[in-house]
Amino acid sequence: MRKYFLCLLTLFTFYLNATGQNNRIRVLVFGAHPDDCDISSGGVAALYAASGHAVKFVSLTNGDKGHQKISGGELAQRRYKETQEVARRLGVEYEVLDNHDGELLPTLENRLAVIKRIREWKADLVIAPRPNDYHPDHRYTGILVQDASFLVIVPNILSSVPALENNPVFLYARDNFQRPNPFRPDIAIDITPVFPKKLDALDAHVSQVYEWLPWIDHDTTVPTNPEERKKWLAKRWLGRSQPSPEIKQTLEKWYGADKAAKVINVEAFEICEYGKRPTDADIRRLFPMLPAKP
Protein backbone atom coordinates (compact mmCIF):
# COMPACT_ATOMS: atom_id res chain seq x y z
CA MET A 1 0.00 0.00 0.00
CA ARG A 2 2.81 2.39 0.90
CA LYS A 3 4.51 1.76 -2.47
CA TYR A 4 1.17 2.45 -4.16
CA PHE A 5 0.82 5.86 -2.52
CA LEU A 6 4.44 6.73 -3.25
CA CYS A 7 3.82 5.88 -6.89
CA LEU A 8 0.75 8.13 -6.93
CA LEU A 9 2.75 10.93 -5.30
CA THR A 10 5.49 10.59 -7.92
CA LEU A 11 2.95 10.71 -10.74
CA PHE A 12 1.25 13.76 -9.20
CA THR A 13 4.58 15.56 -8.84
CA PHE A 14 5.37 14.75 -12.46
CA TYR A 15 1.97 16.17 -13.46
CA LEU A 16 2.63 19.39 -11.55
CA ASN A 17 6.00 19.79 -13.21
CA ALA A 18 4.59 19.05 -16.64
CA THR A 19 1.69 21.48 -16.30
CA GLY A 20 3.64 24.19 -14.51
CA GLN A 21 1.27 24.09 -11.52
CA ASN A 22 4.19 24.01 -9.09
CA ASN A 23 5.27 27.36 -10.53
CA ARG A 24 2.00 29.05 -9.62
CA ILE A 25 2.53 32.40 -7.97
CA ARG A 26 0.50 32.82 -4.80
CA VAL A 27 -0.69 36.37 -4.24
CA LEU A 28 -2.39 37.65 -1.09
CA VAL A 29 -3.97 41.12 -0.99
CA PHE A 30 -5.08 42.72 2.27
CA GLY A 31 -7.58 45.54 2.50
CA ALA A 32 -9.32 47.23 5.39
CA HIS A 33 -12.80 47.03 3.86
CA PRO A 34 -14.58 44.64 1.49
CA ASP A 35 -13.87 46.72 -1.63
CA ASP A 36 -10.31 47.89 -0.89
CA CYS A 37 -8.49 44.96 -2.49
CA ASP A 38 -10.43 45.40 -5.72
CA ILE A 39 -9.60 49.11 -5.80
CA SER A 40 -5.88 48.64 -5.22
CA SER A 41 -5.18 45.42 -7.08
CA GLY A 42 -8.20 44.28 -9.09
CA GLY A 43 -6.32 44.65 -12.37
CA VAL A 44 -3.26 42.62 -11.43
CA ALA A 45 -5.53 40.06 -9.77
CA ALA A 46 -7.34 39.62 -13.08
CA LEU A 47 -4.02 39.21 -14.90
CA TYR A 48 -2.75 36.61 -12.40
CA ALA A 49 -6.02 34.67 -12.36
CA ALA A 50 -6.20 34.57 -16.17
CA SER A 51 -2.76 32.94 -16.22
CA GLY A 52 -3.65 30.29 -13.65
CA HIS A 53 -1.98 31.84 -10.61
CA ALA A 54 -3.59 31.84 -7.16
CA VAL A 55 -4.99 35.10 -5.77
CA LYS A 56 -6.77 35.73 -2.49
CA PHE A 57 -8.30 38.96 -1.18
CA VAL A 58 -8.70 39.46 2.57
CA SER A 59 -10.73 42.29 4.12
CA LEU A 60 -9.81 42.87 7.77
CA THR A 61 -13.22 44.38 8.58
CA ASN A 62 -16.74 43.41 7.56
CA GLY A 63 -17.62 46.91 6.33
CA ASP A 64 -20.69 47.19 8.57
CA LYS A 65 -20.55 51.00 8.84
CA GLY A 66 -19.89 52.04 5.23
CA HIS A 67 -23.32 53.19 4.12
CA GLN A 68 -25.62 56.15 4.63
CA LYS A 69 -28.87 54.19 5.15
CA ILE A 70 -28.12 50.67 6.41
CA SER A 71 -25.59 49.32 8.91
CA GLY A 72 -24.74 46.45 11.23
CA GLY A 73 -25.40 42.85 10.32
CA GLU A 74 -27.60 43.74 7.36
CA LEU A 75 -24.83 45.78 5.73
CA ALA A 76 -22.09 43.29 6.64
CA GLN A 77 -24.08 40.48 5.03
CA ARG A 78 -24.73 42.53 1.91
CA ARG A 79 -21.09 43.45 1.56
CA TYR A 80 -19.98 39.85 2.08
CA LYS A 81 -22.26 38.77 -0.78
CA GLU A 82 -20.70 41.48 -2.93
CA THR A 83 -17.20 40.11 -2.23
CA GLN A 84 -18.26 36.62 -3.25
CA GLU A 85 -19.60 37.99 -6.52
CA VAL A 86 -16.23 39.69 -7.05
CA ALA A 87 -14.52 36.36 -6.37
CA ARG A 88 -16.67 34.75 -9.05
CA ARG A 89 -16.04 37.52 -11.58
CA LEU A 90 -12.27 37.70 -11.07
CA GLY A 91 -11.55 34.05 -10.35
CA VAL A 92 -10.05 34.73 -6.91
CA GLU A 93 -10.80 33.79 -3.32
CA TYR A 94 -12.24 36.46 -1.01
CA GLU A 95 -12.28 36.29 2.80
CA VAL A 96 -13.88 38.86 5.11
CA LEU A 97 -12.90 38.97 8.78
CA ASP A 98 -15.50 39.86 11.38
CA ASN A 99 -14.01 43.09 12.75
CA HIS A 100 -16.27 46.14 12.88
CA ASP A 101 -15.75 48.84 10.29
CA GLY A 102 -14.02 51.89 11.81
CA GLU A 103 -12.83 49.92 14.84
CA LEU A 104 -9.80 48.01 13.53
CA LEU A 105 -6.82 48.18 15.88
CA PRO A 106 -3.25 46.80 15.57
CA THR A 107 -3.76 44.25 18.35
CA LEU A 108 -1.84 41.04 18.90
CA GLU A 109 -4.97 39.07 18.01
CA ASN A 110 -5.27 40.81 14.65
CA ARG A 111 -1.54 40.48 13.99
CA LEU A 112 -1.76 36.73 14.54
CA ALA A 113 -4.78 36.58 12.23
CA VAL A 114 -2.74 38.23 9.49
CA ILE A 115 0.27 35.94 10.10
CA LYS A 116 -2.03 32.92 9.97
CA ARG A 117 -3.47 33.86 6.61
CA ILE A 118 -0.12 34.64 5.02
CA ARG A 119 1.22 31.27 6.16
CA GLU A 120 -1.85 29.28 5.19
CA TRP A 121 -1.87 30.83 1.73
CA LYS A 122 1.89 30.19 1.40
CA ALA A 123 2.12 33.63 -0.15
CA ASP A 124 4.89 34.60 -2.53
CA LEU A 125 3.61 38.15 -2.77
CA VAL A 126 1.65 40.19 -0.20
CA ILE A 127 0.01 43.53 -1.05
CA ALA A 128 -1.38 45.97 1.53
CA PRO A 129 -1.99 49.71 2.00
CA ARG A 130 0.72 51.99 3.31
CA PRO A 131 0.37 52.93 7.00
CA ASN A 132 -0.15 56.62 6.20
CA ASP A 133 -3.71 57.20 5.08
CA TYR A 134 -6.79 59.24 5.94
CA HIS A 135 -8.70 56.25 7.33
CA PRO A 136 -7.56 54.55 10.58
CA ASP A 137 -8.66 51.14 9.28
CA HIS A 138 -6.42 51.59 6.23
CA ARG A 139 -3.49 52.72 8.39
CA TYR A 140 -3.84 49.86 10.81
CA THR A 141 -4.18 47.32 8.01
CA GLY A 142 -0.80 48.55 6.75
CA ILE A 143 0.70 48.35 10.23
CA LEU A 144 -0.68 44.87 10.87
CA VAL A 145 0.80 43.55 7.63
CA GLN A 146 4.10 45.31 8.38
CA ASP A 147 4.18 43.73 11.83
CA ALA A 148 3.57 40.30 10.30
CA SER A 149 6.16 40.65 7.55
CA PHE A 150 9.11 39.24 9.50
CA LEU A 151 7.18 37.11 11.97
CA VAL A 152 5.73 34.86 9.24
CA ILE A 153 9.09 33.06 9.13
CA VAL A 154 9.54 32.78 12.94
CA PRO A 155 8.48 29.23 13.97
CA ASN A 156 7.79 30.04 17.62
CA ILE A 157 5.29 32.74 16.71
CA LEU A 158 1.86 31.14 16.21
CA SER A 159 3.46 27.70 16.30
CA SER A 160 0.12 26.05 15.48
CA VAL A 161 0.56 27.14 11.85
CA PRO A 162 3.88 26.16 10.18
CA ALA A 163 6.14 29.14 9.51
CA LEU A 164 7.07 29.98 5.94
CA GLU A 165 10.51 28.86 4.83
CA ASN A 166 10.94 31.92 2.64
CA ASN A 167 9.82 35.44 3.38
CA PRO A 168 7.36 36.78 0.80
CA VAL A 169 7.82 40.05 -1.03
CA PHE A 170 5.62 42.67 0.63
CA LEU A 171 4.29 45.57 -1.43
CA TYR A 172 2.34 48.73 -0.71
CA ALA A 173 -0.50 49.67 -3.04
CA ARG A 174 -0.66 53.05 -4.73
CA ASP A 175 -2.01 56.12 -2.93
CA ASN A 176 -1.74 59.88 -3.28
CA PHE A 177 -0.74 60.87 0.26
CA GLN A 178 2.36 63.04 0.57
CA ARG A 179 3.05 63.13 4.33
CA PRO A 180 5.24 61.94 5.90
CA ASN A 181 6.52 60.55 2.59
CA PRO A 182 4.95 60.14 -0.85
CA PHE A 183 4.24 56.83 -2.52
CA ARG A 184 7.22 55.51 -4.50
CA PRO A 185 6.24 53.48 -7.59
CA ASP A 186 8.86 50.72 -7.70
CA ILE A 187 6.67 48.48 -9.85
CA ALA A 188 4.03 49.52 -12.38
CA ILE A 189 1.78 47.07 -14.19
CA ASP A 190 -0.19 47.82 -17.33
CA ILE A 191 -3.78 46.79 -16.61
CA THR A 192 -5.25 48.38 -19.75
CA PRO A 193 -6.20 44.98 -21.29
CA VAL A 194 -8.09 43.97 -18.11
CA PHE A 195 -9.43 47.36 -17.06
CA PRO A 196 -12.99 46.27 -18.01
CA LYS A 197 -12.47 43.25 -15.74
CA LYS A 198 -11.49 45.52 -12.85
CA LEU A 199 -14.56 47.65 -13.49
CA ASP A 200 -16.62 44.46 -13.49
CA ALA A 201 -15.28 43.68 -10.02
CA LEU A 202 -15.98 47.18 -8.74
CA ASP A 203 -19.46 47.00 -10.26
CA ALA A 204 -20.23 44.10 -7.93
CA HIS A 205 -19.81 46.42 -4.93
CA VAL A 206 -23.15 48.10 -5.56
CA SER A 207 -23.48 49.33 -1.97
CA GLN A 208 -20.20 51.19 -2.31
CA VAL A 209 -19.52 52.41 -5.84
CA TYR A 210 -23.11 53.39 -6.65
CA GLU A 211 -24.42 54.34 -3.20
CA TRP A 212 -21.99 55.09 -0.39
CA LEU A 213 -19.01 56.67 -2.18
CA PRO A 214 -21.14 58.96 -4.37
CA TRP A 215 -23.07 60.00 -1.25
CA ILE A 216 -19.80 60.97 0.46
CA ASP A 217 -18.81 63.01 -2.60
CA HIS A 218 -22.28 64.61 -2.90
CA ASP A 219 -22.49 63.11 -6.37
CA THR A 220 -26.09 62.81 -7.54
CA THR A 221 -25.27 61.82 -11.13
CA VAL A 222 -25.30 58.03 -10.66
CA PRO A 223 -27.55 56.49 -13.36
CA THR A 224 -30.16 53.89 -12.52
CA ASN A 225 -29.77 51.90 -15.74
CA PRO A 226 -27.15 49.12 -15.24
CA GLU A 227 -25.41 49.75 -18.58
CA GLU A 228 -25.27 53.49 -18.01
CA ARG A 229 -23.99 52.87 -14.50
CA LYS A 230 -21.00 50.95 -15.83
CA LYS A 231 -20.20 53.77 -18.23
CA TRP A 232 -20.41 56.21 -15.32
CA LEU A 233 -18.17 53.93 -13.27
CA ALA A 234 -15.58 53.72 -16.04
CA LYS A 235 -15.43 57.49 -16.33
CA ARG A 236 -15.13 57.88 -12.54
CA TRP A 237 -12.29 55.36 -12.20
CA LEU A 238 -10.38 56.07 -15.38
CA GLY A 239 -8.65 59.12 -13.87
CA ARG A 240 -7.66 57.15 -10.78
CA SER A 241 -5.89 54.50 -12.82
CA GLN A 242 -3.93 56.69 -15.19
CA PRO A 243 -0.13 56.86 -14.73
CA SER A 244 1.42 59.86 -12.98
CA PRO A 245 4.74 61.28 -14.27
CA GLU A 246 6.60 59.17 -11.66
CA ILE A 247 4.72 56.04 -12.65
CA LYS A 248 5.44 56.71 -16.33
CA GLN A 249 9.16 56.57 -15.53
CA THR A 250 8.65 53.24 -13.78
CA LEU A 251 6.66 51.91 -16.74
CA GLU A 252 9.55 52.79 -19.04
CA LYS A 253 11.90 50.77 -16.84
CA TRP A 254 9.76 47.64 -16.96
CA TYR A 255 8.15 47.94 -20.41
CA GLY A 256 10.49 50.14 -22.42
CA ALA A 257 9.63 53.62 -23.68
CA ASP A 258 7.52 52.55 -26.67
CA LYS A 259 5.22 50.20 -24.75
CA ALA A 260 5.07 52.50 -21.72
CA ALA A 261 3.76 55.34 -23.88
CA LYS A 262 0.71 53.24 -24.78
CA VAL A 263 -0.32 52.40 -21.22
CA ILE A 264 -3.65 53.96 -20.25
CA ASN A 265 -4.53 52.12 -17.04
CA VAL A 266 -1.99 51.11 -14.43
CA GLU A 267 -1.63 49.68 -10.93
CA ALA A 268 1.59 50.56 -9.12
CA PHE A 269 3.30 49.23 -6.01
CA GLU A 270 6.05 50.21 -3.60
CA ILE A 271 8.41 47.59 -2.18
CA CYS A 272 8.23 47.26 1.61
CA GLU A 273 11.67 46.96 3.17
CA TYR A 274 10.49 44.58 5.88
CA GLY A 275 9.97 41.47 3.76
CA LYS A 276 12.19 39.94 1.11
CA ARG A 277 14.05 42.61 -0.85
CA PRO A 278 13.56 41.50 -4.43
CA THR A 279 15.98 41.92 -7.30
CA ASP A 280 14.73 43.00 -10.71
CA ALA A 281 14.88 39.34 -11.71
CA ASP A 282 12.67 38.44 -8.72
CA ILE A 283 10.16 41.08 -9.75
CA ARG A 284 9.99 39.78 -13.32
CA ARG A 285 9.45 36.27 -11.96
CA LEU A 286 6.71 37.41 -9.55
CA PHE A 287 5.04 39.56 -12.22
CA PRO A 288 5.08 37.28 -15.28
CA MET A 289 2.80 39.71 -17.10
CA LEU A 290 5.84 42.00 -17.50
CA PRO A 291 7.55 41.69 -20.88
CA ALA A 292 11.05 40.36 -21.31
CA LYS A 293 13.67 42.91 -20.33
CA PRO A 294 13.37 45.77 -22.86
pLDDT tens digits, one per residue of 188-204: 999 999 999 999 999 99
Q: Please give the distance of CA 227 from its chain centroid, rounded to a whole number.
A: 26
Q: Among the listed ranges 5-19, 41-55, 83-97, which one has the minimum average pLDDT value?
A: 5-19
Measure the CA–CA gap between 34 and 178, rounded to whole angstroms.
25
Query: Between 11 and 98, whose confidence is greater?
Result: 98
Give the chain's domains with CATH numbers: 26-286 (3.40.50.10320)
Measure the CA–CA gap between 89 and 85, rounded to whole angstroms.
6
Mean pLDDT, residues 268-280 taken together: 96
DSSP string, 108-139: HHHHHHHHHHHHHHT-SEEEE--S--SSHHHH
Confirm if 189 and 289 have CB atoms less than 8 A apart.
Answer: yes
Mean pLDDT, residues 63-79 taken together: 97
Is the pLDDT at 3 greater than 50, yes or no? no
Measure the CA–CA gap between 276 and 164, rounded to whole angstroms.
12
Give me the residues paired with residue 58 across strands: 30, 95
Q: Among the listed ranges 43-52, 177-186, 237-246, which one has the minimum average pLDDT value?
A: 237-246
3-state SS assignment for residue 169:
strand
Is the pLDDT at 14 greater than 90, yes or no? no
Mean pLDDT, residues 222-234 taken together: 93
Q: What is the pLDDT of residue 197?
A: 97
pTM of the model: 0.91
